[in-house]
Amino acid sequence: MSEQTTAADRSTIDQVVTAISEAFRWLEKEIFTVGETAITYGSIFRFVAIIIAALIISRVVQQALQRYTDFRNTMAPSSVYALKRITHYIILLVGFMVAISSIGIDMTKFAIFASALGVGVGFGLQNLISNFTSGIMLLFEKTLKVGDFVELESGVTGEVKEINIRSTIITTNDNIDIIVPNSEFVSGRVTNWTMRDTYRRIKVPFGVAYGTDKELVKRAVLEAADRVPHTLTDTSHRPPQVWLVEFGESSLNFELVVWLRPDAVNRPGAVQAAFLWEIHTALIENNIQIPFPQRDLHIKSWQADGTIRTLQGKDSASAPEPEPEPERPSKNDAAEEF
């Protein structure tokens, strides 16, 4: 009886195995051939599975590297980012090679095919290859790091958020993400405001009327600089200065030269507006006249009855009435930008 039961079980197992084999027989169906290698549905499924496994392994390895560096705290964030990206590329390359081998394609023949294909692809995807190699150079050279505040030759200004295979993502101060090809960072001129140090000095131009006391201007503007929270008070750098830089057409032109705090370097527009706001307030408080274009009125002739006839040009302007001294504003919006 037991022998009959065993035989029945074996028959059932054979039927199940046969049914499974029949169900997956379509995986062995040939789609096309590469040389002497037949490509089937099963080989394609195996290729895709290996690539997905490589992506998962890459993600796990990057997370492990991040946790290790966070625990050790011995590497700069930019170095950690570069290490993670390079590891990701290496794992994907190894996974791709293993996937090709699993299909059964001879790697020597594949190399010949790849070299022939590379000639054609090189012309069609020249920009893509250029951007890829430029991205690798940026990761190794460390002239551009995630978190740097840069200004490109094209006029784009913002903080570097990501350095990818083809492009780099820059976020402007208006929270706009701009995708810039990596080749632009290599072939063009890039101003990196935070490459080595986060302390920067700016020059804020302004002008006053001729005849104004220079010492009064200096004292008023330095007081204005002290009221702006972006001004660096560290004694290792020079204190704010006021320079007389030009005798203008209708004004004495000065510059406020001031060092900024590190958190203000990435906001040049708001910083400029904050200093101009306080400078304007200080000039009004000290009754310092802000200049305006001067025009001379020339009398050409007068009438016989003694009335003067003048020719008024389109550029002629009369001096405005003196403004009453306003109350000093209680809020500087640009100073509170961040």
Place of tokens 């006021």: 242
Q: How many CB atoms lie within 10 A of CB 81?
A: 19
User: Using N-to-C axis directions, what is the helix angle for 77-103 and 126-141, rounded to 10°?
Assistant: 140
3-class SS shares of the chain: helix, strand, coil, % to 5: 50, 20, 35
Give the amino acid at 173.
N
**CB under 8 Å to 32, separation ≥6 — which residues?**
38, 39
- pLDDT tens-digit series, residues 170-192: 999 888 999 999 888 888 888 88
- pLDDT tens-digit series, residues 193-219: 888 777 888 999 999 999 999 999 999
- pLDDT tens-digit series, residues 86-124: 888 888 888 888 888 777 776 665 565 566 556 655 565
Please, are residues 279 and 288 in contact by the beta-carbon 8 Å criterion? no
Pair of tokens at residue 263: 């958190």
The Cα-based distances of 238 to 73, 181, 260 in angstroms read 33, 39, 11
